[in-house]
Structure 1
Amino acid sequence: MMLQVFLSISLLAGAAGLQAKELNEPAPDFTLKSRSGENLRLEDFRGQVVMLNFWASWCGPCRQEMPLMDDIYEQYKDLGFTVLAVNVDENREEAHRFLDKVPVNYPILYDPESQVSEQYNVQAMPTTVMIDRNGNARFLHYGYKPGYEDDYEKQIRQLVRE
């Protein structure tokens, strides 16, 4: 509940041009179906740094960001880092068409009814939450502009070292 309140407050600040916000709240656990067909649970990634990214196929900044996130994933995955990309399209086929054009190597999860998006109070696309090894949401990003990936990498390096 506290994370939802904080995310709501942060969204208002984000609308005023705030790029990222530091926080330290437990990340709500969830289980979603992955593109590979298996169910993935956030709790199963405890011990890793997780970049939780909410995206949609119709989102221009998401389309720009996803290949960059794949580069980051490839660079840091051997250090206990992963990306979980949660697609919010109601029609999974739209996500598949996009991923056929822009393939990525990290797990894609589907939230067609926006249940997890609601848990995280996602109100902007993309929304990215950096989660530490202990399962705490530590950094929150709304939207994407070129250069945000530099901030992502700084945060990942910080969290991987902790």
Structure 2
Amino acid sequence: MTRRIFLCFSSLLTLCWSLSASALKPGEPGFNFTLPSLTQSSKQQRLSDFRGNVVYLDFWASWCGPCRKSLPLLDQLHQQLVDQPFVVLGINLDDDPELGRRFLRELGIQFPNLSDASGSSYDNFGVSGMPTSFLIDQQGIVRWVHQGFTVNDMETIRPRITELLKESQ
């Protein structure tokens, strides 16, 4: 609950501040984690499992208003680029994973999602607001960090992904 209060407060602060000094920055390797799947019981996944793909790593929670808008649009993007070496990977930060599962079912989200009720990946990536996303290249290097979300952000997100996919060809 304390982390939830902090995240709500920090989301408001991100309107005024950029990423904190401890957040992973472009050019740094993404922190490799092992987390349980939010939707497939007993399945564990690591960030390194997706090496060779461009990864849009999205930290979200069921109580996050902007996440309600971003997840369906990211799911559409994931489906549109299904034939490319690209994946949207969500990390749910709800204290109770069932809240995240219900949220995904309600919105009809299909891209892979992991559960991090402890917040360890949140801490390691230096997330300071919700949602926060990291665009990671095929070698596992963070290329771009995006904090917050409005529907118009897709006009920036998709070209960055497309550019990384072209670089890998």
Residue of structure 2 aligned with 1:36, choices 18, 25, 40: 40
The equivalent of 1:8 in structure 2 is none
In the superposition, the TM-score normalised over structure 1's length comes to: 0.86
Contact 2:136 2:144 in 1 (8 A): yes
The equivalent of 2:97 in structure 1 is 92
Q: For this pair of structures, how many residues does the alignment match?
A: 150
Residue segments in structure 2 that go unaligned for 5+ positions in a row: 1-10, 20-24
In the superposition, the TM-score normalised over structure 2's length comes to: 0.83
**Partner SS state of residue 40, structure 1:** strand
Residue segments in structure 1 that go unaligned for 5+ positions in a row: 1-10
1:17/1:117 Cα in 2 relative to 1: closer, same or farther (>3 Å)?
closer
Which deviations, in whole Å up to 9, do the C-alpha atoms of 1:81-124 show, x marking residues without a partner? 00110000001111122112101111010000000110001110
1:14/1:159 Cα in 2 relative to 1: closer, same or farther (>3 Å)?
farther
Question: 1:1-162 to 2 correspondence within 5 Å?
Answer: 15-16=15-16, 23-34=26-37, 35-37=39-41, 38-162=43-167
Q: What RMSD, in angstroms, separates the aligned Cα atoms of the two structures? A: 2.1
* Whole-angstrom CA distance in 1 between matches of 2:115 and 2:166: 30
**Partner SS state of residue 25, structure 1:** coil
**C-alpha displacement at 1:150, in angstroms?**
1.6
**Partner SS state of residue 124, structure 1:** coil
Which deviations, in whole Å up to 9, do the C-alpha atoms of 1:13-62 show, x marking residues without a partner? 9544769xx72111111111012121111111111000000000000000
